[in-house]
A and B are shown apart, each in its own frame.
Chain A
C-alpha cells in the first residue's frame, strides 16, 4: 500500500518537473537561440518583430503547450477507459476510439475538405461510435470481459484502419497533406490549433476532477458500486463519453498518437497506486511530460526534418509495452 502523503508528494513533484520540461523544451529547437535571447524575447512579449519573436511566440510556445495539453488529454482518457473497462490494457488506441475518430476525420480531410471546420465533431462522433461498438460487443450479463474488450478493439481498429487505407488509396494525390496528421504530428500547429483545443481540454479536465470518485467506485467492482446505490451502467457511459471526448479532440487537433493512453496510466499506477484521487492527476502530468519529450525529440533530433511525435511514441512505446508484458505487469 502506498501512503497518501508519498503519493501527494510524487504528484506535486511531477507537476513541477512538467513545468521544468516545458521551459527546457522552449529552449530547444532546430534553430539555435541562446538562453539570454530566449529570455529577452519572452520578457519583451510580442512587441518587437523579428525571426526570434516568431520562432518563440508563434512556433515553439504554442507547440509546447499543445504537446502538454494533448498528452494530458490522452493519458486521462486512457486512465478513465481503464477504470470503465476494469482492464489495465484499455486505452483509446487499443479500444479503437482513436482509429474511429481518425477514420471520420479523414472522411472530411480527404474526401470532403470543404467541411474542415467540422473535424472536431466528426472525430467525436467517430470515437463514440467505435466505443459503442466495443462496448456492445464486450458487454455480458456478468459484466465486461477484459479479453472481449481487447478483441472487439482489434476488430474496430481493423475496421477503422480499413477505412483509412481505402481513403488513402482513393485520394492518394491528397495524401501528402494528411501524412503528417496520420502519424500524429504537432509540426506547424500554431496558435490557431491551441486556441481551438484549450477550451475543450479545460472543460474535459474539470469534468474529470468530478469523475474521480465515480472512477474509484467503478474500479472496486460492480457489486460494491451497487451496494453503494450507484447506477453502474450510467457511470460507465458517462466516463466513456468523457474519455472519448478527450481523445477525440486530441485526434482532431494533431492526429493519431498511440501508447500515451496505455503506458502513462500504467506508470502512474506503479508510482502512486490505484486511487484515482492521485492516479488521475499523476496520469495528467505524466502524459503531458511524455508527449512533450516525444515531440521535442521529434523536432530536434533530425532537424530540420520534423518527425511526428506519434512515430517517436510508437518507436519508444512499443518496446516498453513489450517489456511490461515480459515483467507480467498486466
Chain B
C-alpha cells in the first residue's frame, strides 16, 4: 500500500512540475521553428570552439576534478554503462555491478557487488577499493549508503548520448588511456558526421518515442537515451515541441498525440518482451485512435530493440545512431 502512495505522489509531483511550466496549448510547431533555428546556429558556433569530439569542455573539467588526485589501483564501479567503458579502455575493476543487462565477457570472473541501486556494502568493504565510480543518477542513494565508510567516490552521468561521451572522456583522461579513448571517440564522431552528411538536404520527420504497449504507454522526451539520440540527429520530438513534456517518461493524453500526429513512432519494447512489430501492430489495429495516425497509415511505426536503445552503452552507440538514421533517411 505504502508503495502506491509513493508512486502516486511521485506522479503527482511530476504532473505538477509539468503543469507549472505549461504554456498555451495547441500546436506551436510554427512558432517554435525560428527559435529552433537560432538554437541550431548557436550550437554550430559552440561546436567550432569546442573540441572535435563534441564534449562540453567545462562539464568535462568539472567531472574530472571530482576524481581523487591520486589514481587508485583498485576501483569498483556500480554502473553497467561505466563498467563497459572501463572495459573498452582496458581497465579492470575489482568489483562490478550485478545486473540483468549484459556485462563485458572478460569481466565475468570479477566480484559482483550487488545491484546499482543498492550495492552490498560488505562486499565493497572486503574489496578494499580506493575508489567507487557510480552513475550520477544514483548518487544520493549511494552516498547515503556509504556514509561513514570513508571510501572515495566519483560520479559520472550516464543518461544521455552526450553523457556517455563525456563520461568516457573523463575515464580515459583520468586513467591515462588517451590513445584508446580517442580511437573510440573519433570513431563515434566520424559516424555522427557521416550520418549528418547523409541527411543533408533531407526533410527530417517529427517523431514520437513510446515505451510500453499501445494501451498503456509513456512518451519519452530528450532526457531519455533514445530521445537524446533523436535530438543529436536533429529530428523534432513531439514530446518537447508539442506536448511540452518535462519528465523523461510522461503519461500523455492520446487526444494531443492525435493532434500532434507525428510522422514516425519509435516503440521501445521493454525487456526481452518477445514483442515484435507484428504483435504491436495487432494491438494497434484494435485501437481505432492509433490507426488514425499518419505514422500508422504510412507504416512508420518501428519497434526498437531494448538491448540497444533501452540501456545506455558507449559500445552500441554507433549501431543505435545508425539504426535511427536509417529509419529517418529511408
Contact of A55 among B8, B16, B100, B258 (CB under 8 A): B258
The CA-CA distance from A187 to B22 in the complex, in Å, is: 20
Interface size on B, residues (CB 8 A): 53
11 interchain pairs (CB within 8 A)?
Answer: A30-B253, A58-B288, A157-B1, A173-B310, A177-B212, A178-B212, A180-B217, A185-B216, A190-B286, A302-B18, A305-B15
A216 interface residue, CB < 8 Å from B?
no
Question: B292 near A58 (CB under 8 angstroms)?
Answer: yes
Question: B274 near A180 (CB under 8 angstroms)?
Answer: no
The CA-CA distance from A161 to B2 in the complex, in Å, is: 9
B187 interface residue, CB < 8 Å from A?
no
- Of B88-96, B167-175, B243-251, the one with at least 4 CB within 8 A of chain A: B243-251
B234 interface residue, CB < 8 Å from A?
no
Question: B270 near A307 (CB under 8 angstroms)?
Answer: no
Question: B271 near A306 (CB under 8 angstroms)?
Answer: no
The CA-CA distance from A328 to B270 in the complex, in Å, is: 48
B182 interface residue, CB < 8 Å from A?
no
B118 to chain A, nearest CB (A): 10
In the assembled complex, which residues on chain A have CB atoms less than 8 Å from the CB atom of B244? 304
Per-residue contact bits, chain A 292-313, to B (CB 8 Å; 1 contact, 0 not) = 0000000101111111101100
Question: B271 near A173 (CB under 8 angstroms)?
Answer: yes
In the assembled complex, which residues on chain B have CB atoms less than 8 Å from the CB atom of A32? 25-26
Contact of B7 among A157, A177, A179 (CB under 8 A): A179
In the assembled complex, which residues on chain B have CB atoms less than 8 Å from the CB atom of A31? 25, 255-256, 258-259
Contact of B270 among A55, A176, A301 (CB under 8 A): A176
B312 to chain A, nearest CB (A): 13
B295 to chain A, nearest CB (A): 13
In the assembled complex, which residues on chain A have CB atoms less than 8 Å from the CB atom of B25? 30-32, 303-304
Per-residue contact bits, chain B 1-31, to A (CB 8 Å; 1 contact, 0 not) = 1111101100110111011001001100000
B5 to chain A, nearest CB (A): 8
A143 interface residue, CB < 8 Å from B?
no
In the assembled complex, which residues on chain A have CB atoms less than 8 Å from the CB atom of B138? none
Which parts of B297-313 form the interface with A (CB within 8 Å)? Answer: 306, 310
B254 interface residue, CB < 8 Å from A?
yes
In the assembled complex, which residues on chain B have CB atoms less than 8 Å from the CB atom of A114? 274
In the assembled complex, which residues on chain B have CB atoms less than 8 Å from the CB atom of A304? 25, 243-244, 252-253, 255-256
A112 to chain B, nearest CB (A): 10
List 8 A-B pairs, minimum CB-CB distance, nearest first. A177-B212, A192-B286, A58-B289, A304-B256, A54-B292, A174-B270, A58-B288, A190-B287
A158 to chain B, nearest CB (A): 8
Minimal Cβ-Cβ distance residue in A for B26: A32
B322 interface residue, CB < 8 Å from A?
no
A136 interface residue, CB < 8 Å from B?
no
Question: B255 near A29 (CB under 8 angstroms)?
Answer: yes
Minimal Cβ-Cβ distance residue in A for B248: A176
The CA-CA distance from A137 to B55 in the complex, in Å, is: 63
